[in-house]
Structure 1
């Protein structure tokens, strides 16, 4: 069962998706704007007119970040932001540079770090969360990042050209996929350094490699270039799609998808969406709010179920109690409860409904109870329930935004966003 007390949000980047998975793939970026929790420390300019009701460290409007502050030192002029992720109340930003003929990534983390979800070996869990960022170094290029409640995962292309998954943070339910939970050792319950998901490598075919990771509350899902899906972690609500109401401390293949090559995945609190090459949508996990899009509420869906949707889908986004679908024509359909964008009179629906008058959309993103969308003219829209830490990004004290609202972003380049990371209380957008 998903509860607000357990809420987190996975946030995800889009720059590494192929055109088949998403048409929203753009060049690497060099500028980052952000809003929400912990952002003020890294702002390039101080703000004297910020909302006095906000948390002291927050920003309620998109704010350009100073990269030298974010990466805790002078930044090479050639640095490119290759990936970003945001979770419950932590975020990671990857900056890649060419050093001595090899690509290397500097990983900056900020926010909560009680379970070492920021991925640093020598940092006290009681770090001043409003102070300096946590810095790690990775050989190669970090291509994509996902953040959960208290864990993080990323796809890294090494200097040898091979891709692998690195994980860190809380492992109490096996969400890091490293095995060894039966020992109950402190090292098994959380991992304070970036660790390779080696158990996944043993399950891959020749020439198969990971291309995307997603983090829910306490589970992780991995997509490979062969269209196969693996899951690990908390499974009481069917989050792993294995037909078992059980957790797993190592990667488990979602066998029910074997005959259906998958091109994209989106995972949030306690459920997962998957998109096939034919534009079909599959669902598994908790569905008690009707976000499964089948016309009824279902407590737990233990194995993949196809969503009966007749329109070809090109984009998916899993929120907390709601699901979003993006059609090839640029229309957004929503289902479930909460941040639907349908207006204050419609906060619940058991079947997908279109957001009327809202089209030409190119990418969608969802968090626990908020959403972002980017249209083909690179405008960014926000809506959702609750505005803690100014997370809706409109600069107001409004508690809820029931319909898509245009967000003013002064420092966004004309080329539009390259990467978007949407977390529970943090949002980041990178552009050229």
Structure 2
């Protein structure tokens, strides 16, 4: 999720898509649709009898309205404001804030896989139907942005004191939570962590510096600050941390090669990271074996930031997938690079240079996960493409069918005038509208 800001001086964590006026206030929502894995138990309607028989039992293959009382595990205030959402390999998180007795109260709700407490905490009763019950945790402050990886999650929270901090939860086997020791006293402590504050980051920030965005790869985490600095932690064998080393880190490490280049945005979902500078340049580090690094050749791994040469209009958006990268220009054109169902058609599944998706323009925002992509145009139409699976993750009603070109999916639950928030995981996607 992301907030579209007029200024490129800082990267905002949530995008609000709105055609009305020039103000971009923090987005608030009371309506959420979702599709993919684990969505069925939280839907307002029963699954249609005409649904594909090969669809997983707990999944939905088209955007489906979610019942917020089910998502949050009980009755919710009619004025609840959805401030942030995130989706990972097999889990999703939704943060909601309400004003009660003059005080703001925030709840973080999660559903899907939770073996490592990536939903924020353990299920209260391990004997219940885990896929049909959410995990709900109180949060001291407003959750502004969420990112989810394979089995971990991270989020930016603005405390009631006005200070922003990062909270993390889930698997810490490679140090992706940044909590310190890679060798805790027990393997269970390494594998499972309830929601915790990333206090180590505070000691690394300068005066007035605070986190504004987090991104989760499969097993690493990247953090962007309001001063344009980037920190990374976790699995680093493919150069995911941008430190110049093939080594993991159990605490935040500053990407020093970017110190002289203020960064406006970051993107990561799998094993590499994209960064967009304030002056519109694109940087890349991490795994690049499929040529997704956009430099005209395949490189096994890039250990420190490398600038991507791109002269096709100024870049305003970036999206890092698994074997592919996406760039969005200010003109609303989408460029893709790498390998897979790229959106270029079934006969064009590999490219080593950023290549435009022909006949596909007027785009406002792009997203990528390990195996798929999503785009929203300026009229709020939503397009999906990539590799399908039995969870119906493409959202077009198909199961285990690939989409080699952008496919318009039904979003009848909100009008084109509605601002919307988007969270794209590998098997789950969510869209919230006001």
Identify the TM-score tier after normalising by the shorter chain: over 0.9
- Superimposed CA distance per residue, residues 82-140 of structure 1 (whole angstroms, 9 cap, x where no aligned partner): 10000011100111111232322111111111111111156466763322111111021
* CA distance, structure 1, for counterparts of residue 264 and residue 6 of structure 2: 29
* CA distance, structure 2, for counterparts of residue 161 and residue 155 of structure 1: 12
SS of the equivalent of 1:389 reads coil
Q: Shift in Å at residue 6 of structure 1?
A: 37
- Superimposed CA distance per residue, residues 205-228 of structure 1 (whole angstroms, 9 cap, x where no aligned partner): 111100000000100000000000
- 2:73–2:134: 8 Å Cα contact kept in structure 1? yes
Q: Shift in Å at residue 414 of structure 1?
A: 3.3
* CA distance, structure 1, for counterparts of residue 424 and residue 9 of structure 2: 7
**Kindly tell me: are residues 253 and 20 of structure 1, through their superposed partners in 2, closer, same or farther at Cα, counting changes over 3 Å?**
farther
- 1:8–1:148: 8 Å Cα contact kept in structure 2? no
- 2:3–2:12: 8 Å Cα contact kept in structure 1? no
- 1:167–1:176: 8 Å Cα contact kept in structure 2? yes
The count of residues paired between Structure 1 and Structure 2 equals 431
Gaps of 5+ in 1: none
Q: Shift in Å at residue 5 of structure 1?
A: 37
Q: Shift in Å at residue 46 of structure 1?
A: 4.4
- Superimposed CA distance per residue, residues 216-250 of structure 1 (whole angstroms, 9 cap, x where no aligned partner): 01000000000000000000000000011100000
- 2:2–2:15: 8 Å Cα contact kept in structure 1? no
Q: TM-score, normalised by structure 1?
A: 0.93
- 2:144–2:156: 8 Å Cα contact kept in structure 1? yes
**Kindly tell me: are residues 7 and 72 of structure 1, through their superposed partners in 2, closer, same or farther at Cα, counting changes over 3 Å?**
farther
SS of the equivalent of 1:188 reads helix
**Kindly tell me: are residues 74 and 55 of structure 1, through their superposed partners in 2, closer, same or farther at Cα, counting changes over 3 Å?**
same
**Kindly tell me: are residues 156 and 174 of structure 1, through their superposed partners in 2, closer, same or farther at Cα, counting changes over 3 Å?**
same
Gaps of 5+ in 2: none
Q: Shift in Å at residue 14 of structure 1?
A: 2.8
**Kindly tell me: are residues 325 and 8 of structure 1, through their superposed partners in 2, closer, same or farther at Cα, counting changes over 3 Å?**
closer
Q: Shift in Å at residue 22 of structure 1?
A: 13
Taking the TM superposition and a 5 Å limit, the aligned residue runs for 1:219-234 are: 219-234=220-235
Q: Shift in Å at residue 25 of structure 1?
A: 7.8
Q: Shift in Å at residue 418 of structure 1?
A: 1.9
- 1:388–1:425: 8 Å Cα contact kept in structure 2? no
**Kindly tell me: are residues 359 and 316 of structure 1, through their superposed partners in 2, closer, same or farther at Cα, counting changes over 3 Å?**
same
SS of the equivalent of 1:41 reads helix
**Kindly tell me: are residues 334 and 125 of structure 1, through their superposed partners in 2, closer, same or farther at Cα, counting changes over 3 Å?**
farther
**Kindly tell me: are residues 232 and 126 of structure 1, through their superposed partners in 2, closer, same or farther at Cα, counting changes over 3 Å?**
farther
**Kindly tell me: are residues 21 and 267 of structure 1, through their superposed partners in 2, closer, same or farther at Cα, counting changes over 3 Å?**
farther
Q: Shift in Å at residue 21 of structure 1?
A: 18
- 1:13–1:420: 8 Å Cα contact kept in structure 2? no
- 1:20–1:277: 8 Å Cα contact kept in structure 2? no
Corresponding position of 2:96: 95
* CA distance, structure 2, for counterparts of residue 6 and residue 87 of structure 1: 28
